[in-house]
Structure 1
Amino acid sequence: MKMRYPALVAGVLAIGLLTAACSDPSSGSSDSGGSATAAAWPAQDASLSGVKLTIWAAQNSNTVPKSVVSAFEKKTGATVNVVTITDPYEQSVQTKVATGDKPDLAFWQPTASQLAAINAKTNLQPLDGAPWLDKMEPALKDLTGIFDKTRYAALISTPAVIGVYYNKEVLAKAGITSTPTNWTGLLQDAQTLKTAGVTPFFEMGGNAGAPWATQWWVQAPLAEAAQGGLWDKVNANTTKFTDAPIIDAITGYKKMIDDGLFNSDIKTATFEDQGKALLAGDAGMVMQVNSYFSQLQSLAKTDELNQKIGFFPISTDGNVGTYIPDQSNALVAFKTGDAKREAASRQLLSFWLGDGYADFVNTLNTVSLQPSVPTPSTVPDALLAVAKSLSTSAGSMQALAVANPDLYLRLGDMIQGSLTPEQVAQQTQDQFAQLASAQGVAGF
């Protein structure tokens, strides 16, 4: 049995200890936070000849900056290198940062728990006063990216929503003519598909030891509970992962697996396999987030996607989605101690969400965050459905909890047969308590 959480807690603490002296006064901030001043934001087209920047990205975000980077390099003369960090991305980044290895920018989950995990006050440049903020859709401007009243992350795309991507043709062939309106209906549709000889759900239980999507199956049925203050209770240590409704969601997921509602190769299947399987009609549904659709877009054109792929949010009692801004949705800029590169990082963010934003939205073929920049008419229907569901979605564990334990790793162990649902819940609670204690959260 693998006990991963002591190493992660040590990593969180080490990030603060090893990098506490790395603040750069020229960045317009201090270790205690604060706002970048107007003078801290260079002109978008200022010359950066000879300046080299590094962006860290994950497996599912390393192609996102391609068009922006190319345009920025041409406009400024800078050189920008995008480096893919191995999965599990967040843990790999935290380990590197703890040893003093830092990029100029990185894709990062812009939630309070993950900004705390990277020790934002010490390691990241504050982005308050950024020139693009007033251009943002008001409902999204302050939804995420803020920790301890300071903005540290720049949202570049619509925050991810946990929900079900489905193959319209597969469901129609099985006689399913409408999408489910609650969790019971979802399971009924799954049984219908199974009876028709179709794999109801496809899961990435292998994925090179980082089965990060497994946790969506636990979080989706908690949407109404989250709206009712579940994560506030977890943060106060009055509700635990071993208590209802969280343990119920974990045991429910295990029962679905035991009932044969997932792909037979669930123990080895990967993120890439999910996209291929749904498009090919080898499975009816996939529980995923926005980055999954980016994979689908790399495999098929919009016309085919509109014909085959749909999306619906789902929860225990209805169609409440769960928003979870992930690392592909946002960027952070690090304090590196090099004033010129730090300024260049802010300049790249200004360009990305300024002069370069329309081209970025069109190239990525995604929903715009800025009312003045129209969403391309070619954006697939499923992505529009995701964006529409955001306004009524509930917050995820990552968005509302004070810490982000490795639930997905333990669920992966459960799939492999090395943990029971009860062990998953207890180990996750133990890690959550240690992370909360390390942050000084009251009650832990």
Structure 2
Amino acid sequence: MRRGISAVALAAAVVLGAAACGGGGGSGSGGGNASAKDPGSVTGTITYWDTSDAKNEAPAYKALVSAFEAKYPKITVKYQNVDFTTVEQKFKASAQSGKGAPDVIRADVGLIPEYASLHYIAPLDGTPALQDTQDFVAGPLNTTRYEGKTYGVPSVTDTLGLLYNKDVFSRAGITAPPATWDELIADAKTIKAKVPGVTGTYVNPDAYFLLPLLFGENADLADPAAKKITINSPEAVKAVTKAKEIYDSASLKVDFASAYDNMQTSFKTGKVAMLIQGPWSVGDDMSGSAFQGKGSNLGYAPVPAGSSGKALAPTGGHDLAVYQGSKNLAASYLFTQFMTSSAAQQQIAVKNGTLPTRTSAYTPEVLKNPTIAGFKPIMDTARPRVALPQVGSLFTPLQQEYIKILQGQTSVKDGLDAAAKQFGTLLPGFAAQ
């Protein structure tokens, strides 16, 4: 989980932000006007930090970089593949010092509010970087906004859905995936009774995977507009109570030391019938005995709905953002525009199997990929995480208390009250329930 920002770092960031604001809007090769009026005249060298998988995904991005340089021969792109697990701290360090920051960065969608609040990335409204916004899927586009401005351009997206074993469902006489959490519990009981050796589901104790239950009860971590901590609201208590019920009645018991790996192994070997998971897991799923050589056995559906009737899951993925202190904003805007175009997204989807963020990129060729085709309608249920700079840090205390709740070490209300108290130290000025 992401760590919070220290007071010293925050103060340094504010100073840097003021300097970046003063130096980033000029004309010529540094400013943005040239890229809009005469793109072919733009010159300069920019650095791009790509956080895609170096072995399996990066080659497709490198090919796009070469295509960009061919289209804009006066611009040189220094491509760097930066490990996803270290890029956040590396970018913060370089942005705070003003040395070594990339001109364009591929950022996790959950980091956009934090980077924007620290003045590390530039607002893109009215720049050539942000084109044809009506073509973007709503969920990914909403991840780019902070306090009324747009700070990123959606590149690839994902969300959580319900993956299920069609063969197990058939053997249990279940004709459709569960539409509600109560139906999921009922289906799990049916599977246990009719398909020996198979358990209904596996509850992932990672707090990110709790969000569909919270959203389904109209609950969230906090309410920025009202400046309230809401993780211990009655709606949130109801959501986590349901999660505990699912764990107790429908889930394979979790090995909390290696929960994710055991969850995956249980599902892909056919010992678990359904999971809340994302498209990133499908490649691994297909390596197991339940799906290897029989990909059509994997079913896709939206997450079940809560009592609100809403099936909602968090929007994930990556946005491209432009460093506010870049000396080559014009080239950075053009590069961002090119890399997030419909044509570029189609190419990436075909090569890497990731979900595009533009509606027009879901072409028949792209939809030949069963994972993309399966998750495309599920994306309609996606919504962004709460737009707070501290949102990544909130998951740590929530997960600590969520695990205690699942293990029966504390009650739902007491656990969420404890999480809310810790939220209070991360969200100064926010009132608790």
Distance of 2:32 and 2:43 partners within structure 1: 20
- Secondary structure, counterpart of 1:309 in structure 2: strand
**In the alignment, which residue of structure 2 is the partner of 1:208?**
none
Deviations 1:21-61 (A, max 9, x none): 551655328xxxxxx8442468489776xx462415377x9
Distance of 1:201 and 1:44 partners within structure 2: 55
1:428 corresponds to which of 406, 419, 422: 419
On the 8 A contact 1:165/1:287 being kept in 2, the answer is yes
Give the paired residue count.
410
**Larger Rg computed on CA atoms:** 2
State yes or no: 1:164 paired with 2:155.
no
Deviates further, 147-156 or 123-132:
123-132
Structure 1 residues 169 and 5: CA distance shift in structure 2, 3 A: closer
Deviations 1:329-355 (A, max 9, x none): 3222223x4413x54443331221235
Q: Map 1:311-326; keep pairs closer than 5 Å.
A: 311-317=301-307, 320-326=310-316
| Structure 1 alignment gaps of length 5 or more | 30-35, 206-210
2:373 corresponds to which of 379, 384, 388: 384
What amino acid does structure 2 have at the position aligned with 1:105?
A: V
- Give 1:18 deviation, angstroms: 6.0
Normalised by the length of structure 2, the TM-score is 0.75
Distance of 1:11 and 1:322 partners within structure 2: 37
% identical equivalent positions: 17
Structure 1 residues 20 and 324: CA distance shift in structure 2, 3 A: same
Distance of 2:287 and 2:82 partners within structure 1: 20
1:134 corresponds to which of 132, 135, 151: 132
Deviates further, 317-326 or 353-362:
317-326
**In the alignment, which residue of structure 1 is the partner of 2:72?**
none
1:286 corresponds to which of 272, 275, 278: 275
State yes or no: 1:122 paired with 2:119.
yes
What amino acid does structure 2 have at the position aligned with 1:106?
A: I
1:53 corresponds to which of 31, 47, 64: 47
- Secondary structure, counterpart of 1:331 in structure 2: strand
Structure 1 residues 433 and 180: CA distance shift in structure 2, 3 A: same
**In the alignment, which residue of structure 1 is the partner of 2:143?**
144
Distance of 2:367 and 2:340 partners within structure 1: 20
**In the alignment, which residue of structure 2 is the partner of 1:197?**
197
- Give 1:84 deviation, angstroms: 0.8
State yes or no: 1:265 paired with 2:255.
yes
| Structure 2 alignment gaps of length 5 or more | 70-75
On the 8 A contact 1:198/1:283 being kept in 2, the answer is yes
CA RMSD of aligned residues (A): 4.3
Deviates further, 309-318 or 181-190:
309-318
Structure 1 residues 230 and 410: CA distance shift in structure 2, 3 A: closer
Distance of 1:253 and 1:405 partners within structure 2: 21
Structure 1 residues 95 and 143: CA distance shift in structure 2, 3 A: same
What amino acid does structure 2 have at the position aligned with 1:265?
A: D
**In the alignment, which residue of structure 1 is the partner of 2:346?**
358
State yes or no: 1:240 paired with 2:227.
no
Q: Map 1:23-34; keep pairs closer than 5 Å.
A: 23=20, 25=22, 27-28=24-25
- Give 1:198 deviation, angstroms: 1.5
What amino acid does structure 1 have at the position aligned with 2:154?
A: L
- Give 1:372 deviation, angstroms: 4.3
On the 8 A contact 1:310/1:381 being kept in 2, the answer is no
Deviations 1:269-299 (A, max 9, x none): 33x5554543332322221334444665799
Structure 1 residues 231 and 388: CA distance shift in structure 2, 3 A: same
Distance of 1:242 and 1:135 partners within structure 2: 36
On the 8 A contact 1:126/1:151 being kept in 2, the answer is yes
Normalised by the length of structure 1, the TM-score is 0.73
Deviations 1:397-423 (A, max 9, x none): x14668526454345434376963445
- Give 1:384 deviation, angstroms: 3.1
Distance of 1:67 and 1:232 partners within structure 2: 38
- Secondary structure, counterpart of 1:189 in structure 2: helix
**In the alignment, which residue of structure 1 is the partner of 2:182?**
184
- Give 1:430 deviation, angstroms: 3.0
Structure 1 residues 190 and 402: CA distance shift in structure 2, 3 A: farther
Structure 1 residues 299 and 55: CA distance shift in structure 2, 3 A: farther
Distance of 1:378 and 1:216 partners within structure 2: 26
- Give 1:173 deviation, angstroms: 2.9
- Give 1:81 deviation, angstroms: 1.0
Distance of 1:351 and 1:149 partners within structure 2: 24
What amino acid does structure 2 have at the position aligned with 1:202?
A: Y
Distance of 2:379 and 2:308 partners within structure 1: 14
State yes or no: 1:215 paired with 2:213.
no
On the 8 A contact 1:171/1:177 being kept in 2, the answer is yes
**In the alignment, which residue of structure 2 is the partner of 1:32?**
none
